[in-house]
C-alpha cells in the first residue's frame, strides 16, 4: 500500500509542476476584448491582468461619459471572458478536464 501511495504522491507532484508551468505561461498569452465595434479595446493576459486599453478617437469625440463607461465595462467583460476561456483551455490540456471559469 505504501508503494501505491508513493506513486500517487509523485504523480500529484508532477501534475502540480505542470499546472504551475501553465499558470506562468498564461502571463505571456493575451486576449483582446472589445466593444462598440472595436471603438474600445482591452487586452488582458491569461491571468486576467489588464495589459492595455485602447479607445478610438471617434469614441472619444462622440461619447458622453456614461456611454464611454459602458463601452469600457463591456470591453472589460469581453476580455475577462476570453481570458477565462484561455486559462481553462490551457489547464484542460494538462488535467484532461475543463475547470470552471475563474478557477486559475
41 forms bridges with which residues in the sheet? 34, 54
Look at residue 85 and tell me whether its pLDDT is greater than 60. Answer: yes
What's this model's pTM, rounded to 2 decimal places?
0.77
Interval 50-77: pLDDT, tens = 999 999 998 888 778 899 999 999 999 9
Sign of CA dihedral 43, 49, 50, 52: negative
| CA distances (Å), origin 66, targets 59, 72, 74 | 12, 10, 12
Interval 2-57: pLDDT, tens = 778 888 888 888 888 888 888 889 999 999 999 999 999 999 999 999 999 999 99
Are 76 and 33 a contacting pair, CB within 8 Å? yes
What pLDDT is recorded for position 12?
A: 83
86 vs 4, higher pLDDT? 86
- Cell 461619447 sits on residue: 63
Domains and their CATH numbers in the chain: 25-94 (3.30.1310.10)
Amino acid at each position: 500500500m505504501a508503494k501505491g501511495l508513493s506513486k500517487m504522491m509523485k504523480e500529484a507532484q508532477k501534475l502540480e509542476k505542470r499546472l504551475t508551468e501553465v499558470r506562468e505561461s498564461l502571463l505571456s498569452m493575451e486576449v483582446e476584448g472589445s466593444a462598440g465595434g472595436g471603438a474600445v479595446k482591452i487586452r488582458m493576459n491569461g491571468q486576467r491582468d489588464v495589459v492595455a486599453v485602447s479607445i478610438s478617437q471617434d469614441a472619444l469625440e462622440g461619447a458622453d461619459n456614461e456611454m464611454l463607461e459602458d463601452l469600457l465595462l463591456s470591453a472589460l467583460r469581453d476580455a475577462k471572458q476570453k481570458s477565462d476561456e484561455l486559462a481553462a483551455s490551457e489547464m484542460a490540456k494538462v488535467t484532461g478536464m475543463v475547470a470552471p471559469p475563474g478557477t486559475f
